[in-house]
Amino acid sequence: METLDYYNDPINAIRYRDFCESRGCPLAKTLLKMIHLKLGDQFKFENGFLIDLACGSGTSIVTFSKLGFGKYLGVDFAAGMLNLLPAYIAPHNLNVETAQLDLRQGIVPAPNDSADMVGCCSALMYLEDLTHVFKEASRVLKRGGLFGFNVISCNSQSEIIYNFLDCDDVTMYVHSMAILAKISNELGFHLVAGSSNIEDRPNDNPYVPGIKSHETTLLLRKK
């Protein structure tokens, strides 16, 4: 099933919203911990600009707001998710604009060198080619801006991208860390921090035979 079709379904969108609201946004929380550990507990983007790719119902935006941003742009390819965002955001009094966007080819509606941070929580594993997303993140970020995201990765040196169906029969992709590093370097990013959760992707039962995959969270900074 196409990811867009799944999250545009009102029932699936509400179910995913409820799931996110019950847990907050674990990935955004992990990125905040990375930022505090590497850049300092008092690190803030006071009145800065955050772009949240695949923002869903807004749980990640609320978590990222702890960094003190003054303006937010939330984009998602599923109108079903964006329709749920205003109600979740309203109690938090945040200045959030939204836009529907296909991350595979869409242009983020923001000027060059305008954002202090780009976040993308639990979405890149649904994309086969990440080059366009990385290019857009690099374009909109200021020098020194942060790009935080998670992927399902493997240590293969091959450019072949592996895929599998998740529990909802939605296609997900396993990306080579070597290729991600190559794309990042070419687009002017350097690694601030990274972590892997091997418990979610058991090595004795990999999604792709012969390939050990795991969820990886990365925090990059634009040079």
Q: How far is CA 54 from CA 60, 73, 78, in A?
A: 9, 11, 8
CA 21 to chain centre: 17
Which H/E stretch holds residue 217?
A: strand 213-222
CA neighbor of 106 nearest in space, from 81, 127, 80, 82: 127
Give me the tens of pLDDT residue by residue for the chain, a chain 223 residues long.
566 566 667 767 677 767 767 667 889 999 999 999 999 988 999 999 999 999 999 999 999 999 999 999 999 998 888 999 999 999 999 999 999 999 999 999 999 999 999 999 989 989 999 999 999 999 999 999 999 999 988 876 666 676 766 666 678 888 888 889 999 999 999 999 998 764 444 443 345 556 677 889 999 999 9
Local structure of residue 15 (DSSP, 8 states): H
User: Do β-strands 115-120 and 71-76 pair in parallel, antiparallel, or remain unpaired?
Assistant: unpaired
pLDDT score of 3: 63
Pick the CATH number of 3-222 from 3.40.50.150, 3.10.440.10, 3.40.640.10, 3.40.50.1820: 3.40.50.150
pLDDT score of 204: 38
62: left (phi over 0), alpha (psi -120 to 50) or beta: alpha
* Residue 14 φ then ψ, to 5°: -65, -40
The amino acid at 162: Y
List the domain boundaries for the chain.
Answer: 3-222
Q: Which two tokens stand for residue 83?
A: 């329709």
pLDDT score of 166: 62
The SS3 of residue 200 is helix
* Separation between Cα atoms, residue 138 and residue 117, nearest integer Å: 10
pTM, two decimal places? 0.88
CA neighbor of 54 nearest in space, from 117, 111, 100, 1: 100
pLDDT score of 192: 95
pLDDT score of 202: 40
Which H/E stretch holds residue 212?
A: none
* Separation between Cα atoms, residue 74 and residue 71, nearest integer Å: 10
